[in-house]
Amino acid sequence: MEAIKSHIKSEQDRKSPDSNLIERLNKVLSKGGLSFEEFCASGTFIPSEIFKLDNPDIKLDKDCTDVIRYYGNFIVQGLKSGLFIADINGSHIESKSLSVIEDTMWSMHINKVMNK
């Protein structure tokens, strides 16, 4: 649940924190875990230019058009080509299907860190 705590802190530290997001993250903390379906539903599409303004230290692919941010600050990049890419726990994954990326991220790492 450290990823959720870290996400709450980073959201609180923003110039304009999203109080609804903070509330939803706190609910995940109080439940003590997150299902795969809840994780997938938490994905928020953000245009890459807006994402870069709030996250200047995160390097995006030069062809990134959108970033999908999930609970725990996990991100997937949407590229001009229609490909989705993510780097999770030291592994690079890519697919034309966002659901394949989400499933792979969940099984490789996220389930373990969100539900311990």
- Whether residue 90 contacts residue 76, with contact meaning beta carbons closer than 8 Å, is answered with no
The β-bridge relationship of strands 64-70 and 44-47 is: antiparallel
Q: Which of 28-37, 64-73, 77-86 has the lowest mean pLDDT?
A: 28-37
pLDDT per position as a tens digit, 32-48: 888 999 999 999 999 99
Question: Can you give the residue range of the structural domain that contains 110?
Answer: 2-114
Q: Per-residue pLDDT for 3 more than 90?
A: no
Q: Is the pTM of this model over 0.75?
A: yes
pLDDT per position as a tens digit, 13-32: 988 889 999 999 999 889 88
Domains of the chain: total = 1
Taking the CA atoms of residue 11, residue 12, residue 15 and residue 20 in that order, the dihedral angle to the nearest 10 degrees is 70
Q: What average pLDDT does range 94-112 have in this prediction?
A: 93
